[in-house]
Amino acid sequence: MAINLDQSIEWFKSKVGKVTYSMTGKRDGSDGTGDCSGMVVTALVNGGAKKPSWLVNTEYMHDWLISNGFELIAFNKSWNMKKGDVIILGLKGQSNGAAGHTFMAVDGTNAIDCAWYGSTTVNAVRIRNENVQPYSMGFYVYRLKSDNVAKPTPPAQSNVTWHSEKGTYKLGRDTDLKTDPKVSAKNIMKLTKGSTIKYDKVAHIDGFVWLRQPRSNGYAYIQSGKSINNGTANDKWGEFY
């Protein structure tokens, strides 16, 4: 099983400012609330990890991570943080509820989590600088084995002409960001109305105008409107800059 860590992190980042902290709600962000373990697990599922039979907490995340191709690389010692690392705070058997915490590395310096920070203005998903190692409580660091990291997505091959056009597109409606420029392609994430993306190419495919978004692991594609008169005009769904 391969997991796309970039896709997981992008999903998690899309919840900044939209999900507040709660251990009594859905825990996965679907109702506007989440907790630390629920959001990390759901982010990884959005990247291709196996969905657990129940939304595991910090106590049960260890086995679930291993079953998805992660391995323990550090226990109670400093390590060189890498994108996609999952850190669990709290010794096994002692990390239930508020006694434990978990978060995911965005890169070698920053992390993302959903947590209670003691203020209603920041009790939510946020990205923060992570520079406190080791932690005062027991902690574990899991990293996805290289064989389980999803390979970069190559540019889609199609019998169509892609036109170079760099710009910014502001969505005028909720639209799915996809792995390929076709309606049946796998969804990477749903972008909401008002979101913006950078694009570098445009093509008319199967009745729609598609934009290509460069990403760290390849490309993603999004519909920006309907293609009319065989690509000579289009019905725009948003704004271009």
Q: Which of 102, 118, 148 is the last residue of a domain?
A: 148
Mean pLDDT over 15-20 rounds to 90
Any idea what DSSP says for residue 96? S
Q: What is the pLDDT of residues 161-178, one digit of tens each?
A: 899 999 999 999 999 999
149 forms bridges with which residues in the sheet? 3
Q: What is the pLDDT of residues 86-126, one digit of tens each?
A: 999 999 998 887 778 999 999 999 999 998 876 555 578 98
Whether 157 is in a domain gets the answer: no
Q: What is the pLDDT of residues 123-154, one digit of tens each?
A: 789 888 876 565 667 899 999 998 767 665 55
Closest to 34 in 3D by CA, of 144, 115, 139: 115
CATH (domain of 106): 3.90.1720.10
Number of folded domains that form the chain: 2
Pairing status of strand 20-21 against strand 33-34: parallel
Please indicate, yes or no, whether residues 41 and 124 belong to a single structural domain of this protein: yes
Whether 153 is in a domain gets the answer: no
Residue 151 pLDDT:
60
Mean pLDDT over 218-222 rounds to 93
Domain that holds residue 75: 5-148
E strands, 35-153, are 70-75, 86-89, 101-105, 110-114, 125-129, 139-144
